[in-house]
Amino acid sequence: MTDRTPSDREPPRRPAPHPSGWLLPAGVDPAVRPLMAARALRGFADGAVAVLLPAYLLALGLNPFDVGLLSTVTLLGSALATLALGAIGHRWSNRRLLLAAAMLMGATGLGFAGATAFWPLLLIAFLGTLNPSSGDVSVFLPLEHARLADAAAGDARTALFARYSLAGALSAALGALAAGLPSWLLAQTGLPMLQGLRALFVLYAAIGGVVWWLYRGLPAAPVHAKQRPAPLGPSRGIVLRLAALFSLDSFAGGLVVNSLLSLWLFHRFGLSLAQAGQFFFWAGLLAAGSQLAAPWVARRIGLLNTMVYTHIPANLCLIAAALAPGVEVALALLFVRSALSQMDVPVRSAFVLAVVTPAERTAAASFTAVPRSLASAASPALAGALLAAGWLGAPLIACGALKIVYDLALLASFRGHSHARTPD
């Protein structure tokens, strides 16, 4: 005779299948809807900031090297926060950490709207949640991924991550388009451009408040989670191996984060802020479409093949864009790159979280997300220095070449898994 309750004797069950919808695929726990809405709002804010950040810093009198350095510090701060989350984040509830991150987002927007000197901006960038890249590299990522991983299994999990990434990509495209609002406000009201730029950082802070409100609707713990979060244990080897490979890709990606690609378009072809915003809007739509197609491709050629064989042609297009003779050819090549370069995002996330134990998911998501910002932290400053020196194409060429090296190394390291489908 024991004193165990029925919940002690019976293992937790997966959620019963739910009908599919435009937001969630079939078989996914609907409790994650607030995460999907929050991802969309954060994507909008990140998409706008990635285009606005260099224009705002230039308007304050800073130079391209300062823009690169500030992007570096932003990524470094995100990396250290994510690393700390993986090491000690299991001590607090996932919901509490998400609420704290949303409050930090609001403070970051207000800080950037009010600061004007370089050093205060640098400090806010290090401590805050700004994202100068095309993907999500913030502390939100591992926390939301851990929740999503408990909400579905198998192909449904890959489809869920695809829609999560799609929500972020589509809203980031709209955010990039909204980056042209300061120019419109200037034309309509005669207000200084700097005031319009600051207004959008206030909007960033307001979005942080809405995200906080959405997180309040989450249950205190994932209803179907089988174990409490724990630090890395049995899965440490494979997680560290993947993290080492991801670090090369991350360093390369840091050379062409969206804020620096905006700067390149400003200097190389003289694009205006509104024109750059339109480019990132259409590029974001293409990236979103590729992420939606990723589960279909992965089911047919495998997770690893989807990651590698879409990445290589995308990076060849990036190198070619750096050498393009005119803006039309360069933009066309960058559009092709956008249609391919993000297809690996949902399948990579689904794979990482499927090969570790449920208790290790938050830690695994953190330790594989860290290279996306930590290894890339030095490269924006390097890219800014190259742009300031007049070597405008060098960051794009170096990024494409290093990413191809990463793709080949990943394929060689996991050749035996080249046809693997999504595990449960």
pLDDT digits (tens, 9 = 90+) for 295-346: 888 888 877 788 888 889 999 999 999 999 899 999 999 999 999 888 877 7
Which tens digits make up the pLDDT trace of 258-278? 888 988 998 899 988 888 889
Q: What is the pTM of this model?
A: 0.73
Written as six digits, the tokens of 262 are 């905006």
* CATH class label, 31-417: mainly alpha
Q: What is the band of 19 on the pLDDT scale with cuts at 50, 70, 90? A: very low
Check pLDDT > 50 for residue 41.
yes
- Mean pLDDT of the chain, nearest integer: 80
| Sequence-ordered list of residues with C-beta below 8 angstroms from that of 382, at least 6 positions apart, any chain | 68, 255, 395
The reported pLDDT for the residue numbered 189 is 73
Among 407, 230, 375, CA closest to 310: 407
For 327-346, letters b (16+ CB in 10 Å) and e give: eeebbebbbbbbbbbbbbbb
- Quick check: 101 pLDDT over 70? yes
Per-residue pLDDT band at 11 (split at 50, 70, 90)? very low
- The answer to whether the CB of 179 falls within 8 A of the CB of 44 is no
Count other C-beta atoms under 10 Å from residue 226's C-beta.
Answer: 13
* Residues shown for the chain: 424
> Which pLDDT belongs to residue 187?
72
Q: What is the DSSP letter of 355?
A: S
User: Hey, where are the domains in the chain?
Assistant: 31-417
Structure confidence at residue 213 as a pLDDT band (50, 70, 90) = very high
Contact 42, 33 (CB under 8 A): no
Alpha-carbon separation of residue 408 from 1, 249, 306, 369, 411 (angstroms): 58, 11, 13, 20, 5
Q: What is the dihedral of CA 260, 263, 265, 271, to 10 degrees?
A: 150
pLDDT value at position 401? 96
